[in-house]
Amino acid sequence: MMIPARHMPSSMIGRSSGSAAYGSSSALSLGQPNLLDNNSQHLQHALQQHHLLDQQIPTTTAESSDHAHNGMIRGRDSMDPLGDEFESRSGSENVDGDAVDADQDPSQRPRKKRYHRHTQHQIQEMEAFFKECPHPDDKQRKELSRELGLEPLQVKFWFQNKRTQMKNQHERHENSQLRADNDKLRAENMRYKEALSSASCPNCGGPAALGEMSFDEHHLRVENARLRDEIDRLSAIAAKYIGKPMVPFPVLSNPTLGAVGAYGAHPADIFGAADLPPMRGAGGVDAEKQGVVVELAVAAMEELVRMARMDGPLWTADGTLDEEEYARMFGPRGVLGPKQYGLVSEASRDAAVVIMTPASLVEILMDVNQYASVFSSIVSRAATLEVLSTGVAGCYDGALQVMSVEFQVPSPLVPTRESYFVRYCKRNSDGTWAVADVSLDALQGIKCRRRPSGCLIQEAPNGYSKVTWVEHVEVDDRAVHNIYKLLVNSGLAFGARRWVGALGRQCERLASAMASNIPTSDIGVITSTEGRKSMLKLAERMVASFCGGVTASVAHQWTTLSGSGAEDVRVMTRKSVDDPGRPPGIVLNAATSFWLPVPPKRVFDFLRDESSRSEWDILSNGGMVQEMAHIANGRDHGNCVSLLRVNSTNSNQSNMLILQESCTDASGSYVIYAPVDVVAMNVVLNGGDPDYVALLPSGFAILPDGPAGIMHANSGVGSGGSLLTVAFQILVDSVPDAKLSLGSVATVNSLIACTVERIKAAISGAGSSPQ
């Protein structure tokens, strides 16, 4: 800071050598450590000169005083403009110039100089102008000096001083902030040093040195840190929807504890019956419980990955779960807690290599429309109720969504399973993808409880993927018909083998549909790739319509017909209005399921062969069936789409076209067909839109009767036979508002009963009536 001249000692005013050094000033900062020492040296030098002069010149003459005073004034006039900073602070006083001896001759006195300090008004005006423009140009300085009665150079120096003053203040503020940050870092460093000095060895309890922990413990600590980061990331996502940060859970010091053990409260306790109402059919998860959903999903993912990668003793040779080993490995509670009373466990695992990339498989599983389409034989209804996270980096890594899905078996004798769960997708550090489901149902009144289930996807060469599927559910299966109990209880009806088989078959079908040329295996009237794709798309819709109309879904109201030999036939009516894919009117669905003591492959080959169609198809009237087109869509010869023409024996009747798809895998087989209009089919073969072709599919679903080699005590089910479901969809009236006549029901009943008898007679000789 500047020291005013009027406060300086009189002895120093007369010493020009000392005044020059003392008048210099500069701001102190952390970046200028030697500045204070330099100023002290200058001050000390000035004091020493002052002391010496006092000894050498005991008296002060007027001449020397006058010269010293003039030197002081000249020094101040030629100083750096810092002198004006003092003047701007010193008010509006006018101070006369040089002091003279009273006895001196007035004619010899020097010319009197007047020095004007800035007035308060001038300072206020320049302060106001500085706020608007701290760097005025020459024109602005001249205008301002004219208004204030100052010289332009005075205005220039004042602004220079003001800018220097503001810079010094800013630097002092930054220095204070840096000192505070430095103190915080120093304190934090001390805390870390104290924590390291007090660390103890986990084995002996003594002091631990860095690098002393074992490799296994280090690996577990790294894994726990990764899981905590995952939880923090998902918690942040959940907090975005909750509107407030999640309550942090304590992290236990034992690194060997699993992910669930570190959560404090068990997720199943929070989703208890007393705390959470049934959520099935709800619009999503309550905001207050989204944090728990995130934790549940992370724990389910951890359990699923371990179960998918682990072999014996957790899994037996046939892919079923060892319940005792599971309880020992994951605890009696697992992720969802103990098994509920009245529910039975079903757990299975299967693996296969499919012709699809991991990214495409993940997209199918996370897109509910593709998911329902690809697994149309297993999924009757599916909906995404809420998306908690869409993932990161433009992919599904970290995607989290709440879903409601109804799983089915193609028979009205097996109730569907409705499940409400959260689906979590994650890409692991080794490059594999995992998609995990875990149930969110309340603990009372549920019939299907989905424990951690899903799949692990590993990339394979040439665009293939290895898929390991795990299905682990707890269900109430008391409503399952007796002939299906062995199949359901063995896990083959809803288990991993069926999921993997359906996925592999559909991947081959999609690869065939995307072919850019017509394979040599395709024959018939198909001449373009557009026509081929349209025909495959039409067949896909036909299969989905058949599978959705033959099950015991909660959306269906089946009525069991009573009568001799047809007590198991179930019928259902549906009105078709404004649906371009269905003919308008009343549609009657009829279905029945029965057991055949014949292997499934033999039944499948018989029903799909056009040469044997006249043996069971009553509507063909014994006419010869000719295959007009054939599209192979899988490695198995039974996986194909065909266009059949029934040549009528009656010359008065026109020939009928039938679209048929047959498909088979390790879990079951289908033969599905529908009569099609000739004109509409020509449009499809030319690449037209197949969505406007009206279809009423009928057909057969063939399932094994249980694991091979296990004989049922009474009916023989489980001896390697087949469970066959026959289903028809027939338009009984073209007026949607018409009433269903009993005659139409009786006709359909006779049709399905006669078809069943013909199949039994052709395959296994004389057969009994349906059960």
| Helix, coil or strand: residue 40 | helix
pLDDT digits (tens, 9 = 90+) for 110-122: 555 555 678 888 8
Tokens of 471: 């299905």
Give the model's pLDDT for residue 489. Answer: 87
Confidence band, pLDDT 50/70/90 cuts, at residue 765? low
Give the model's pLDDT for residue 207. Answer: 60
Maximum mean pLDDT: which of 63-72, 228-237, 404-413? 404-413
Confidence band, pLDDT 50/70/90 cuts, at residue 23? very low
Give the model's pLDDT for residue 603. Answer: 94
As a whole number, mean pLDDT of residues 405-418 equals 91
Confidence band, pLDDT 50/70/90 cuts, at residue 13? very low
* DSSP β-bridge partners for residue 480: none
d(CA 123, CA 108): 38
Confidence band, pLDDT 50/70/90 cuts, at residue 257? very low
Give 103's DSSP letter: T
As a whole number, mean pLDDT of residues 395-412 equals 92
d(CA 167, CA 173): 10
Using alpha carbons, select from 516, 505, 525 the residue that is nearest to residue 659. Answer: 525
Q: 579 or 295: whose pLDDT is higher? A: 295
With a threshold of 0.85, does the pTM exceed it? no
Q: Please report where in the chains the tokens 């001196």 appear, as a residue.
A: 104
d(CA 450, CA 419): 7
Maximum mean pLDDT: which of 196-200, 288-292, 642-646? 642-646
Maximum mean pLDDT: which of 198-212, 304-318, 373-387? 373-387
As a whole number, mean pLDDT of residues 747-753 equals 87
Under a CB-based contact definition with an 8 Å cutoff, are residues 727 and 590 in contact?
Answer: yes
Instruction: Give the range among 141-155, 316-330, 438-452, 701-715 with minimum mean pLDDT.
Output: 701-715
Give 2's DSSP letter: P
Residue type, 558: W
In what helix (H) or strand (E) does residue 627 lie, and over which residues does it extend? strand 624-632
Give the model's pLDDT for residue 202. Answer: 56
| Helix, coil or strand: residue 562 | coil
Cis, bond preceding 313 (omega within 30 deg of 0): yes
Give the model's pLDDT for residue 117. Answer: 76
Counting residues of the chain whose pLDDT is more than 70, the rounded percentage is 68
On average, the pLDDT of the chain sits at 75
Instruction: Give the range among 273-287, 533-547, 676-690 with minimum mean pLDDT.
Output: 273-287
Give the model's pLDDT for residue 237. Answer: 62
As a whole number, mean pLDDT of residues 697-710 equals 84
Counting residues of the chain whose pLDDT is more than 90, the rounded percentage is 29
Under a CB-based contact definition with an 8 Å cutoff, are residues 637 and 616 in contact?
Answer: no
| Residue 182 CB burial class (10 angstroms; 0-12, 13-18, ≥19) | exposed
d(CA 551, CA 590): 11
Give the model's pLDDT for residue 715. Answer: 52
Confidence band, pLDDT 50/70/90 cuts, at residue 769? very low
Q: 709 or 573: whose pLDDT is higher? A: 573
- The alpha carbon dihedral of 516, 522, 527, 530 has a sign of negative
d(CA 313, CA 321): 9
d(CA 198, CA 193): 9
Give the model's pLDDT for residue 287. Answer: 63
Confidence band, pLDDT 50/70/90 cuts, at residue 522? low
d(CA 62, CA 50): 18
**What does DSSP say about strands 570-576 and 698-704: parallel, antiparallel, or unpaired?**
unpaired
Tokens of 468: 């390991």
Tokens of 155: 């205005």
Q: 332 or 501: whose pLDDT is higher? A: 501
Under a CB-based contact definition with an 8 Å cutoff, are residues 471 and 498 in contact?
Answer: no
Residue type, 259: A
As a whole number, mean pLDDT of residues 646-673 equals 84
pLDDT digits (tens, 9 = 90+) for 166-197: 999 999 998 998 999 898 888 888 887 777 77
As a whole number, mean pLDDT of residues 507-533 equals 78
Q: 214 or 592: whose pLDDT is higher? A: 592
d(CA 636, CA 509): 11
d(CA 540, CA 376): 9
Q: How many helices (H) and strands (E) does the chain have?
A: 20, 20
Whether the pLDDT of residue 672 is over 90: the answer is: yes
Give the model's pLDDT for residue 116. Answer: 60
Instruction: Give the range among 195-199, 246-250, 544-548, 754-758 with minimum mean pLDDT.
Output: 246-250
Give the model's pLDDT for residue 364. Answer: 95
Whether the pLDDT of residue 16 is over 70: the answer is: no
Instruction: Give the range among 92-106, 285-299, 410-424 with minimum mean pLDDT.
Output: 92-106
Give the model's pLDDT for residue 91. Answer: 39
Confidence band, pLDDT 50/70/90 cuts, at residue 699? very high
| 60-78 per-residue burial string, b: 16 or more CB within 10 A, e: under 16 | eeeeebbebbebbeeebee
Q: 216 or 563: whose pLDDT is higher? A: 216
Whether the pLDDT of residue 328 is over 60: the answer is: yes
Confidence band, pLDDT 50/70/90 cuts, at residue 521? low
Confidence band, pLDDT 50/70/90 cuts, at residue 490? confident
As a whole number, mean pLDDT of residues 599-628 equals 87
Whether the pLDDT of residue 709 is over 50: the answer is: yes
Between helix 742-764 and helix 600-608 the angle, nearest 10°, is 120
Whether the pLDDT of residue 323 is over 50: the answer is: yes
Give the model's pLDDT for residue 168. Answer: 93
Give the model's pLDDT for residue 515. Answer: 75
Between helix 529-548 and helix 678-685 the angle, nearest 10°, is 130
pLDDT digits (tens, 9 = 90+) for 431-450: 999 999 999 865 445 678 89
Give the model's pLDDT for residue 606. Answer: 93
Under a CB-based contact definition with an 8 Å cutoff, are residues 752 and 563 in contact?
Answer: no
d(CA 158, CA 135): 11
Whether the pLDDT of residue 726 is over 90: the answer is: yes
